[in-house]
Chain A
Amino acid sequence: MSWLYLGIAVIFEVAVGLFASKANGFMRLWWTIATLVSGAIATFFLSLALLTFDIGVGYAIWTSVAGVGIVIVGALFLDQRLNWKKALGILIVIGGVVGLQLSGAA
């Protein structure tokens, strides 16, 4: 269940990243509101995940996997290029999360 909560929190944090870039330094009202609402939902589900995960672990996984999600959504839908550097970063993050889980340290 805690992984599900963390997954939902990640999805809304990806939305935060995308909306925030549209909000243009919070000068555009509706994108700003969308950013804040998504951030609130992400925060709530993160807090549910952190009932199980330790803070350092849950937070690191959350923010990093959201970073991966933002790059992937950007490449799929926003015409941003996915070069080898980004691909390597994605692999490192995923490798780290899998390693953390398999080692039983999560």
Chain B
Amino acid sequence: MTVSPTKNDSKNAGPWLVLLLAGAFEVGYALSVGGSEGFTVLGWSISAFVFFLLTLFCLSVALKAIDVGIGYAVWAGIGAVGAALLGPVFFHESLTQVRAVWLAVIIGGVVWLKLADSPKLEAQKATAESGATPAPEWSP
């Protein structure tokens, strides 16, 4: 059992906090876009614009330290779950049981999809399968 050489990444909590923040901003973005009613309501429209920039900025900062697939999965999951839960709080909407189940399927699907697209998880799996040291993967 060998210890893999680079384990210091993603140990730092900072990027994860920024990622959670990006997720929260994404929820704010979703609610604001809905509340803007086709960008005819000024307050919600401005709020949508601000959240749009904030979520993009925080996500891009977080993804410099966190694997892209994992980062997107967490971010998209927070955004979609948050929008589904808070939509009924802020607006005249309802989250019925049937709807909650199907939304869970959809959100679970996209989180799975983002994780499947993770370069880091793929690399770890490849390393585990080959058993030995990670072989450098370049073509001549």
Contact = CB atoms under 8 A, between A and B. Distances in A.
Nearest to A90: B113
A71 B52 CA distance: 23
Contacts of A39: 52, 56
B30 interface: yes
Interface string A84-106: 01101111110111011001110
Interface string B9-47: 000000000000000000000110110111100000000
Nearest to B45: A47
A105 B103 CA distance: 10
A55 B72 CA distance: 20
Contacts of B66: none
A67 B114 contact: yes
A59 B117 CA distance: 21
Contacts of B110: 63-64, 67-68, 89, 93
B33 A43 contact: yes
A67 B76 contact: yes
Interface in B83-137: 83-88, 91, 93-96, 98-99, 102-103, 105-110, 112-114, 116-117
A64 B117 contact: no
Contacts of A54: 34, 87, 91, 93-94
Contacts of A40: 52
A54 B131 CA distance: 49
Contacts of A63: 76, 79-80, 110
Contacts of B109: 64, 89-93, 95-96
Contacts of A68: 110, 113
Contacts of A48: 38
Interface in A43-82: 43-44, 46-48, 50-51, 54-61, 63-64, 67-68, 71
Given A51-B38, A56-B87, A68-B113, A46 B108 contact: no
A87 B97 CA distance: 27
A55 B34 contact: yes
11 contacts: A47-B38, A55-B33, A56-B93, A60-B107, A64-B106, A88-B112, A92-B106, A93-B109, A93-B110, A100-B106, A104-B98
